[in-house]
């Protein structure tokens, strides 16, 4: 990387558009005092982002803008553009040339751009740092700042050396990490503090939330139990109602059947009673008939007796004739009478008839016998006897008939009576049956009314349960149509007891504001977040410690390595310029007095505190140290140190503003040689009045200022230069 071109417009005395093209090697800027040479060095500082007005020899930003002259008005803006060749990618960007530009306006506004794109100062500073170009007095050494490195404190010197060694970038990174570390530590403490503060409240909220949860769980369980229990009860009641209704209907049917049966029996009884009455009436009719018939028979018997008397009388009349026969007839008749009586007594109609026939036959035979006896008797007697016999036969016939009728009536009476008593018996039985049925009916009616009462009770319970269901539904309960499975098979009594127990438990759980649960949740989230954050922060702190450790290792390692070389070169250039003597730099630790108990982080911070001291002894002089040196000696010492740094870690370019002014001729020669030696690795822009220095230059620019107060640039060819200066 090297400086290719510098463009100025409106910067300090450069009112015109001015362009300086640089070469590798040495570019010298020459010209009379006050021509504006140092303004070029200022412009270089300015464009690289210098923020210190003092470093660019100004008090305020307006001083940087062309302030006008007798012939030319002031300008509103200063603009400086610097072109870098970036073929070696010293700037870690893809461009082969890097163009940085800075503008400043009268109101103090600054604008920065890199390759045409406007950027922040921070971006520019980063880019400059990445290319290891610092502004700490090393790459641009202003006029009068030659011995700045000697003037600086040990710590500042260390900074200059760090910059020279390209450790600035790591330092910046380290500082950044340290800043982050301190922020992170503060944040960690804050987070831990808040977490600690929240903890007791969170614990309290957790307990409350657990109680609420327990309450919810119990309420839910209770609701489920109540719901299930109710459902179960409803089902049971419905089933009971159903069953009772069926029972009532069965009783109803039974009652109807019984009533029907009772009515049937009543009708039957009525019928039977009619029959019985009829039978009874039949009996009395028959008894009358029997009486009549018996009267008739008595009359017949009396008639027979009369006839028999007549026969006896007849017999007595014809006793002589038929004495023998009469005894015989009487005997025969007596037999016949007995037979007749026997026939009359006969119960069986057929047997009676038979006996009567036998009687009639025997009577006929006897009559024939008597008749034949009569032939022998007087005629009259014979006629009477025949007539009587006839009468007797007729009467016997009548008697037989009457006997037949009596027997028939008796038979009928007996039958009718039997029928009557059978009816009575039946009626009695029916009445018993009726009574039984009536009892059964009464019992059924009683049962029915009992069942109705039960149904009524069940319906009342059903109403209560329905109301309860509506109430539970209003509280959000959902009743399943389907069976609730296991629960419904659970013991009803056990369920009821569980409900009671849950109700008691709920009464014993304090009523806690439901918002507590929400608060607990929020607080828990916050707490978890804080814990997570503290973990992340601890992780970040440990990563930062690690990164800082690594950076420290790089910085310390490189510094130590370079330190030796710087001292060798310092000694070399010092003894060259002073023709002897000794010079070295050494690290001084300002942290020695700090104790070991200190925190690791603080120790790390303390490391930053060390600095660099310069120890010099001039040849042939007793006294040593910077304090006793003359101005020239100081200038030579700082030059020796500067070149020691440049040779140890060659910067891409170095601007030296009249650094060579205090040198005597011999040293000017040495200085020229040194430049020549170092230009192989470093591009030099030197502002000088020194001929020896000009001799070393590859390009010369002349800067002059005319009456108009505007700096002008003259490019001079090397060949012609020697004569001009
Ligand atoms: P020397 O050789 O004496 O060190 P030099 O060539 O380095 O001189 P500079 O210091 O660069 O000169 O220039 C100073 C000149 O620039 C002065 O004349 C000063 O008036 C002029 N100058 C500085 N700032 C402005 C400005 N804002 N507007 C106009 N001119 C300015």
Nearest CA to ligand 1 atom 9: 36
Among 585, 504, 679, which Cα is nearest to 149's?
A: 585
| Cα of 576 from ligand 1 centre, angstroms | 35
Residues 256-279: tens digit of each pLDDT: 999 999 999 999 888 888 888 887
CA 240 to chain centre: 43
Sign (positive or negative) of CA dihedral 124, 130, 132, 138: positive
Highest-confidence segment of 34-48, 211-225, 353-367, 507-521: 34-48
Tally of CB atoms within 10 A around 77? 16
Q: What angle do CA 50, 53, 55 make, to 5 degrees?
A: 70
DSSP letter assigned to residue 145: -
Evaluate if residue 382 carries a pLDDT over 60: no
**For residues 255 and 445, is the Cβ–Cβ distance under 8 A?**
yes
Task: Count Cβ atoms below 10 Å from residue 643 Cβ, excluding itself.
Answer: 23
Assign residue 166 a region (left: φ > 0; alpha: ψ between -120 and 50; beta: otherwise). Answer: left
Residue 372 CB neighbours (<10 A): 11
Give the pair of three-digit tokens for residue 20.
């300086």
Please report the pLDDT score of residue 123 as a whole number: 92
As a whole number of angstroms, the distance between CA 131 and CA 163 comes to 11
**Using the 8-state DSSP alphabet, how is residue 115 labeled?**
T
pLDDT of res. 527: 93
Distance 36 CA to ligand 1 centre (A): 4
How does pLDDT run across 330-349, given as a tens digit for each residue? 777 788 788 777 777 777 77
Which tokens hold the place of 68? Answer: 């006008």
- Exposed, middle or buried by CB within 10 Å (0-12, 13-18, 19+), for 485? exposed
Rounded (10°) angle between helices 349-375 and 379-474: 170
How much of the chain is helix, strand and coil, in % rounded to 5? 65, 10, 20
What element of type H or E holds 528?
helix 515-578
- State residue 581's pLDDT score: 92
CA distances from residue 441 to 246, 249, 430, 453, 454 in whole angstroms, order as listed: 18, 14, 16, 18, 19
Distance of CA 179 to the CA centre of its chain: 43
Tell me the best of 9, 16, 35 to mutate to test the pocket of ligand 1, counting ligand atoms within 8 Å of each CB and taking the most: 35
Both tokens assigned to 668: 């000017």
pLDDT band at 381 (very low <50, low <70, confident <90, very high): low
Contact 7, 704 (CB under 8 A): no
Calculate the CA 485 to chain-centre distance: 26
Give yes or no for residue 605 CB within 6 A of ligand 1: no
Spatial distance between the Cα atoms of 80 and 95, rounded to a whole number of angstroms: 20
Kindly state the tokens that stand for 239.
């089933």
CA atoms within a 13 Å half-sphere pointing along the CA-CB vector of 528? 6
Residue 712 beta carbon below 6 angstroms from any ligand 1 atom: no
pLDDT at 622 over 90: no
Q: Are 43 and 50 in contact (CB under 8 A)?
A: no
DSSP summary character for residue 114? E
The full length of the chain comes to 725
Confidence of residue 402 (pLDDT cuts 50, 70, 90): confident
63: Cβ below 6 Å to ligand 1? Answer: yes
How many alpha carbons fall within 13 Å on the CB side of residue 333? 22
Distance in angstroms (rounded) separating the CA atoms of residues 578 and 629: 12
| CA atoms 626, 632, 637, 641: torsion sign | positive
Residue from 96, 103, 111 nearest 11 by CA: 103
Q: Which atom of ligand 1 is nearest the CA belonging to 67?
A: 28
Q: Pick from 12, 17, 15, 69: which is nearest to 44 by CA?
A: 12
Question: Does residue 324 register a pLDDT over 70?
Answer: no
Q: Contact at 8 Å (CB) between 367 and 389? A: yes
- Of all protein residues, whose CA lies closest to atom 12 belonging to ligand 1? 34
CA 536 → CA 183, 239, 470, 620, distances in Å? 13, 67, 55, 64
Q: What spacing in Å lies between the alpha carbon of 34 and ligand 1's midpoint?
A: 5
pTM higher than the cut 0.75:
no
Residue 479 backbone dihedrals phi, psi, to 5 degrees: -100, 125
Residue 13 Cβ inside 6 Å of ligand 1? The answer reads yes
- Choose the residue to mutate in 13, 46, 693, 702 for probing ligand 1, maximizing ligand atoms within 8 Å of C-beta: 13
Angle ∠(516,520,523) on CA atoms, nearest 5: 135
Q: Which residues contact 138 (CB under 8 A, 6 or more apart)?
A: 160, 163, 164, 645, 651, 654
Radius of gyration of the chain (CA): 81
CA of 709 to the centre of ligand 1 (A): 9
Reported for 714-717, long-range contacts at CB under 8 A and 24+ positions apart, including other chains, are none
Ligand 1 lined by 39 (C-beta under 6 Å): yes
Cα separation, 525 vs 517, whole angstroms = 12
**Residue with CA at minimum distance from ligand 1 atom 3:** 33
pLDDT band at residue 215 under the 50/70/90 scheme: confident
- Is the model's pLDDT at 720 over the cut of 50? no
Res 603: pLDDT: 47
Q: Is the pLDDT of residue 386 over 80?
A: no
> Is there an atom of ligand 1 within 6 Å of 688 CB?
no
Q: Which of 3-17, 401-415, 526-540 has the lowest mean pLDDT?
A: 401-415
What's the CA gap between 631 and 175, in Å, rounded?
36
Q: Are 359 and 414 in contact (CB under 8 A)?
A: no
Q: Average the pLDDT over 69-75 and give the result.
A: 90
Given a cut of 80, is residue 486 above it in pLDDT? no
Residue-averaged pLDDT of the chain:
84
Structure tokens of 73? 């008005």
CA 40 to ligand 1 centroid distance, Å: 10
User: Which residues lie closer than 8 Å to 339 by C-beta, 6 or more apart?
Assistant: 355, 358, 359, 362
């Amino acid at each position: 990387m090297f400086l290719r071109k510098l463009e100025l417009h409106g910067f300090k005395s450069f009112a015109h558009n001015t362009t300086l093209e640089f070469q590798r090697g040495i570019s010298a800027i020459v010209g009379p005092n006050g021509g504006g040479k140092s303004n070029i060095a200022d412009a270089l500082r300015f464009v690289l982002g210098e923020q210190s007005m003092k470093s660019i020899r100004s008090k305020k930003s307006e001083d940087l803008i062309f302030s006008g002259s007798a012939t030319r008005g002031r300008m509103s803006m200063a603009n400086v553009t610097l072109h870098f060749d970036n073929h070696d990618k010293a700037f870690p960007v893809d461009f082969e040339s890097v163009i940085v530009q800075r503008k400043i306006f009268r109101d103090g506004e600054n604008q920065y751009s890199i390759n045409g794109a406007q950027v922040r100062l921070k971006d520019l500073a980063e880019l400059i740092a990445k290319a290891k170009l610092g502004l700490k007095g090393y790459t641009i050494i202003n006029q009068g700042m030659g011995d700045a490195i000697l003037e600086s404190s040990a710590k500042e010197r260390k900074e200059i050396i760090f910059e020279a060694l390209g450790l600035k970038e790591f330092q910046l990174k380290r500082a950044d990490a340290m800043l982050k570390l301190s922020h992170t530590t503060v944040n960690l403490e804050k987070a831990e503090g808040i977490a600690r503060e929240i903890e007791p409240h969170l614990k309290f909220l957790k307990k409350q939330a657990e109680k609420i949860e327990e309450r919810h769980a119990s309420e839910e369980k209770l609701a489920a139990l109540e719901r299930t229990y109710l459902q179960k009860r409803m089902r049971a009641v419905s089933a009971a109602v159903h069953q009772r209704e069926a029972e009532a209907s069965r009783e109803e049917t039974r009652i109807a059947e019984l009533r029907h049966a009772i009515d049937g029996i009543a009708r039957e009884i009525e019928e039977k009673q009619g029959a019985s009455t009829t039978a009874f009436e039949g009996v009395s009719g028959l008894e009358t008939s029997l009486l009549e018939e018996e009267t008739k028979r008595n009359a017949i018997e009396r008639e027979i007796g009369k006839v028999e008397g007549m026969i006896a009388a007849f017999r007595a009349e014809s006793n002589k004739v038929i004495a023998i026969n009469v005894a015989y007839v009487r005997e025969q008749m007596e037999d016949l009478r007995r037979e007749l009586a026997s026939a009359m007594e006969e119960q069986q109609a057929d047997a009676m008839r038979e006996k009567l026939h036998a009687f009639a036959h025997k009577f006929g035979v006897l009559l024939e016998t008597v008749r034949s006896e009569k032939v022998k008797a007087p005629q009259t007697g014979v006629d009477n006897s025949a007539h009587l016999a006839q009468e007797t036969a007729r009467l016997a016939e009548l008697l037989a008939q009457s006997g037949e009728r009596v027997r028939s009536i008796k038979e009928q009476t007996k039958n009718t009576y039997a029928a009557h008593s059978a009816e009575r018996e039946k009626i009695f039985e029916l009445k018993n049956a009726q009574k039984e049925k009536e009892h059964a009916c009464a019992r059924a009616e009683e049962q029915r009314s009992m069942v109705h009462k039960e149904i009524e009770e069940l319906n009342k319970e059903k109403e209560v349960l329905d109301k309860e269901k509506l109430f539970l539904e209003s509280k959000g309960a959902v009743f399943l149509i389907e069976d609730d499975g296991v629960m419904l098979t659970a013991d009803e009594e056990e369920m009821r007891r569980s409900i009671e127990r849950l109700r008691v438990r709920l009464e014993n759980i304090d009523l806690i504001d439901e918002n507590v649960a929400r608060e607990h949740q929020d607080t828990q989230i916050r707490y978890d977040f804080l814990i997570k954050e503290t973990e992340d922060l601890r992780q970040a702190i440990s990563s930062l410690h690690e990164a800082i450790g690594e950076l420290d290792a790089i910085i310390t390692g490189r510094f130590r390595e370079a330190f030796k070389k710087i001292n060798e070169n310092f000694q070399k250039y010092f003894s060259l310029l002073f023709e002897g003597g000794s010079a070295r730099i050494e690290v001084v630790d300002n942290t020695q007095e700090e104790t070991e108990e200190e925190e690791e982080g603080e120790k790390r911070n303390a490391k930053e505190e060390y600095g660099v001291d310069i120890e010099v002894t001039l040849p042939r002089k007793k006294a040593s140290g910077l304090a006793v040196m003359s101005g020239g000696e100081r200038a030579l010492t700082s030059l020796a140190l500067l070149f020691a740094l440049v040779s140890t870690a060659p910067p891409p370019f170095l601007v030296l503003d009249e650094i060579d002014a205090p040198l005597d001729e011999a040293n000017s020669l040495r200085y020229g040689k040194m430049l020549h030696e170092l230009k192989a690795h470093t591009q030099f822009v030197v502002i000088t009045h020194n001929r020896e220095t000009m001799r070393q230059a590859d390009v010369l620019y002349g800067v002059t200022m005319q009456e108009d107060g505007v700096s002008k640039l003259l490019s001079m060819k090397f060949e012609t230069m020697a004569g001009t200066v």
